[in-house]
Structure 1
């Protein structure tokens, strides 16, 4: 764990809002010099606190108007390995996230589709045909609030 000061936290909050900002822009925003901001960003990257920058696509504007969270309980753990299931499920392009979890379900998936009939097609033809899939629960996303994360 790395010790973070108030300036580090402010940098992280600013990057969480817009990861594409330059060190110069961050420096101006936080009242730092550009080299100081750059060194702090590099230190956070070296410590693993910043583990890359991601491009966030708007699925709805790309024609994927439905997001569904699936809970999947594997049918028989002995027949298909977790690695085989994960390899098969991540090969389905509509599956955006795969989380191996504890609880009622073994996996939680985030799946995008153009509409509900498209989701039904993905579920019936791609997900339910995998040999390890047992019980499935679907929750359709109605709205989403994005929070910056646990940066104090």
Structure 2
């Protein structure tokens, strides 16, 4: 069943843009920014959250400052699709702490993983000892992240 699209007004869009930039903003700060009372802003944010406009507020970690200087995107093709279930692969790859995101994709590869490591030798260790030993892991293609620019998205 397809969920209905949420009807957003200009204030809703501004609130979502502000929260996308800084998820720590509370109803008081948002209210001051958009000339609304704290209770009115709280109701708006609650309505947006209840409607599913956003699922969670997240902390964005600075991987480099935490000692993870390398980010690699891995395309993983499963070698034995019939013998290993997607759930088995997903469960196993989810247990690897260096894997930040797991995306089941359509195309040349079955999965796209975002992996962080201290440096290239550390990434090689994670690849050889953890990822290549996963159930059903077959061909992989690695792309090292050189730089990243955050885009505001469709509301920006």
Q: Give 1:105's aligned residue.
A: 109
C-alpha distance in structure 2 between counterparts of 1:101 and 1:18, whole Å: 29
C-alpha distance in structure 2 between counterparts of 1:11 and 1:127, whole Å: 40
Deviation at 1:32, TM superposition (A): 1.4
C-alpha distance in structure 1 between counterparts of 2:93 and 2:39, whole Å: 44
Q: Which runs of 5+ in 1 are unaligned?
A: none
What pairs up with 1:53-68 in 2 under 5 angstroms?
A: 53-68=57-72
1:22 to 22, 26, 34: 26
Moved over 6 A (4+): none
Q: Which has the higher mean CA deviation after the structures are superposed, 33-42 or 137-146?
A: 33-42
Say yes or no: does 1:125 pair with 2:129. Answer: yes
SS at match of 1:96: strand
SS at match of 2:115: strand
How many residue pairs get aligned? The number is 152
- Could you report, residue by residue, the CA deviation over 1:62-109 in whole angstroms, capped at 9, with x for unpaired residues? 000000000000001111100000000010110010000000000000
TM-score (norm. length: structure 1) = 0.97
Deviation at 1:149, TM superposition (A): 2.0
Q: Which runs of 5+ in 2 are unaligned?
A: none
| RMSD, aligned α-carbons | 0.9
